[in-house]
Amino acid sequence: MCGIAGVWYNTSIYADKTVIKKMTDAIVHRGPDGDGFWYSEDNGLLLGHRRLSIIDLSINGSQPMKYRSRYVITYNGEIYNYLELKDLLTKKGYRFFTATDTEVIMAAYDFWGIQCLKYFDGMFAFCLYDNEKDLIFCARDRFGEKPFHYAINKNLFMFGSEMKSLWAAGVDKTIDDYSMYLFLNFELHEDPTDKTRTFFKHIKRLKPGHYFIYQRGKEIKQEKYWEIKQEINTYISFDEACLKFKEMLFSSIKLRLRSDVAIGTSLSGGLDSSSVALVMNQINKNSILQKSFSARFDDASLDEGFYMNKVVENRNIEHFSVYPQISNLVKDIEKIIYHQEEPFAGASISAQWEVFKLAKENGVTVLLDGQGADEVFAGYTHFFKTYFREIYLKNGRKALNVAYNNYLNCNIVKEDIKINKQFLFETKFHKAFYELRILKQKLVGVNSSAHIHPDLKNAFKNNLAPFNTYVDLNASLEHYTSNSGLDKLLRFADRNSMAHSVEVRLPFLSHELVEFAFTLPSEYKIREGWTKAIIRHGLNDILPDEIAWRKNKLGFQPPQKEWETDSEFIKKAKYYQQIAVENKYIKPNANFIWNGFMAGVFINLTK
């Protein structure tokens, strides 16, 4: 795990070698173990790298790295199956001089070209220069675990893991007003209709599962190399699916245990993080000390300590907990926003920040985490409504009644979903209702939250709300996994972890596991009233019953409402919300809202 940066001037005459050092200095937290630079005197290309040593800790692992006198790469991430690819390429005649996955990427590109991306199981963002063709090949992993930002003008192209590098190189911090509108009106952290958009007008992001080839002075066209395909396997039984899921998760975690430094786990006490921690413990045969890290809360209704203890008791797991306090949020909020490079709609991000800080303080550089399972395997209770719509349209009212009664009789904490005439009518004619909603928005504009400044509201009142009504569970899961939902969570985790020089690995986001999940029918994910049924049943022999059949999902949420009554918090919140008012994002005299506070802190970052 590292930080990358680069600049390519349209003519070498204007190349400023001091710029690349400024860019890497801005992201030293991503790679405190060293830096490296590569310059092309002939064509004005500058590549930089900050190193967090995880695989091949020797100097041989330093970047930017050269290969075959033709390629140079600066790369951030992990290719978990690099040993298998290295063996395959060795048989094809390739020689390797380091023990890194970095070298494997360049050899794979030399052999397969851009098709090499299909062979990588991992998280990555890289820029590879091919000096024979005088082009750069930039790519990002399938889900967007690793970031890649860029800016381009008539004189140069530049990129970086974080926007801080681009700011250090002179890119201005003009806020993208539409991104702020989406955040303040819908609590969206990205534009689902344009995944290149960021909160900054002049900075774009490379979309997950995409790449581009760039040659000086030409336009950038992002190309998709991977997408989720919904091809349901009607022949696999539920028991067979559970067994295969278990095998694939074990395989994914084994690959993600490859490291030359200590590996621990995040542990919330929920189904997903507990599954990862316990599978890791089984793989290690309980013989290797495993460290786990959690956030706990004084409010018993929010604290998951009971479930954490169920995971670690009688196992070779040393558990560490931190109790996030409002005083820490008040003290650290500017720093957190600086690292996030965007506002966020909830205090859970600050709790996550403290967990990663705790891991670093206790000597752990790599953490496995359960992120992604909720989106892929239907972990959120709001997916029930989509599931019921699907059952009704495919199998009729009787089947819906059975599914709904299972839901009512299940012990899981529920949302208020009523199967009435209105629900059935809206489901049956969902396309017509969607078209009517779009027509209404076109005629009278989009409803805006009461706190939004009139100027911001009027600027985007004719922009359609980026939402849809899903009547197919897998289609909804695909949206949350690929388009809107998971992306922001991965971004939050990357920024929070790398702020403390910690790498996060996500076994549930093995692309092969995700592809398998989307071949399964909806009733394998929501079954007999339970969410994530395939995880609960597939790991039932590993998980304590209290976790496998846990009734509630807390969502890693601090006591935010209580925190908002703290006097020091109120003082700071009022100060920053006023900044949002002065910049015409929040209307004057608006009541306090968390997002107005966040907007103000974020605006202050740009000054």
Nearest to 269 by CA among 303, 297, 301: 303
Is the predicted pLDDT of residue 52 greater than 80, yes or no?
Answer: yes
Is the predicted pLDDT of residue 443 greater than 70, yes or no?
Answer: no
Q: What is the pLDDT of residue 411?
A: 72
Are 20 and 120 contained in the same domain?
Answer: yes
Amino acid (1-letter code) at residue 415: E
Are 121 and 182 contained in the same domain?
Answer: yes
pLDDT top residue among 81 and 414: 81
Q: How would you label 3-27 residue by residue, b for 16+ Cβ within 10 Å and e otherwise?
A: bbbbbbbbeeeebeeebbebbbebb
Order across the sheet with 122-130: list the strands: 65-67, 71-79, 122-130, 135-140, 210-214, 223-224
Are 260 and 371 contained in the same domain?
Answer: yes
User: For the segment 317-339, what is each residue's pLDDT rounded down to a tens digit?
Assistant: 999 999 999 999 999 999 999 99
Are 550 and 572 contained in the same domain?
Answer: no
CATH number of the domain bearing residue 199: 3.60.20.10
C-alpha torsion sign, points 577, 581, 585, 589: positive
Are 65 and 204 contained in the same domain?
Answer: yes
Domain count, the chain: 3
User: Mean pLDDT for the chain?
Assistant: 94
Backbone angles phi, psi at 375, to 5 degrees: -75, -35
Torsion-angle region of residue 34: left (phi > 0), alpha (psi -120 to 50) or beta?
left
Query: Is 472 domain-assigned?
Result: no
| pTM given for the model | 0.94
Which of residues 193, 224, 255 is at a domain's end?
224
Q: Which domain holds residue 596?
A: 564-605
Mean pLDDT computed over 574-594: 93
pLDDT band at 248 (very low <50, low <70, confident <90, very high): very high
Is 38 strand, coil or helix?
strand
Query: Is 385 domain-assigned?
Result: no
Which of residues 224, 257, 283 is at a domain's end?
224
Find the length of the chain.
607
Q: What is the pLDDT of residue 65?
A: 98
Query: Is 600 domain-assigned?
Result: yes
For the packed helices 473-482 and 486-498, what is the interaxial angle rounded to 10 degrees?
A: 30
Share of the chain above pLDDT 70, in %: 98
Query: Is 433 domain-assigned?
Result: no
Query: Is 198 domain-assigned?
Result: yes
Q: How would you label 197-211 residue by residue, b for 16+ Cβ within 10 Å and e otherwise?
A: bbbbbebbbbbbbbb
Which residues are within 8 A (CB) of 545 and not within 5 positions of it... i.e. 6 or more apart? none
Catalytic residues: 2
User: For the segment 267-305, what is each residue's pLDDT rounded down to a tens digit?
Assistant: 999 999 999 999 999 999 988 899 999 999 999 999 999
CATH number of the domain bearing residue 529: 3.40.50.620
Are 207 and 323 contained in the same domain?
Answer: no
In this structure, are residues 26 and 521 in contact, taking their beta carbons and an 8 Å threshold? no
Query: Is 275 domain-assigned?
Result: yes
Amino acid (1-letter code) at residue 20: I
Query: Is 414 domain-assigned?
Result: no
C-alpha torsion sign, points 583, 584, 586, 589: positive
Are 206 and 278 contained in the same domain?
Answer: no
Which of residues 173, 189, 224 is at a domain's end?
224
User: For the segment 153-197, what is each residue's pLDDT rounded down to a tens digit?
Assistant: 888 999 999 999 999 999 999 999 999 999 999 999 999 899 999
Are 366 and 506 contained in the same domain?
Answer: yes
pLDDT band at 110 (very low <50, low <70, confident <90, very high): very high
Mean pLDDT computed over 237-244: 98
pLDDT band at 445 (very low <50, low <70, confident <90, very high): low
Q: How far is CA 252 from CA 245, 287, 367, 475, in A?
A: 10, 20, 14, 24
Query: Is 308 domain-assigned?
Result: yes
Are 551 and 572 contained in the same domain?
Answer: no
Are 33 and 179 contained in the same domain?
Answer: yes
Per DSSP, the residues of 43-95 read T-EEEEEEE---S--SGGG-SSEEETTTEEEEEEEEETTHHHHHHHHHHTT--
Q: How would you label 86-125 residue by residue, b for 16+ Cβ within 10 Å and e otherwise?
A: bebbeeeebeeebbbbbbbbbbbbbbeeeebbebbbbbbb
Are 124 and 267 contained in the same domain?
Answer: no
Nearest to 147 by CA among 127, 175, 168: 127
Are 183 and 214 contained in the same domain?
Answer: yes
Which residues is 76 bridged to in the sheet?
125
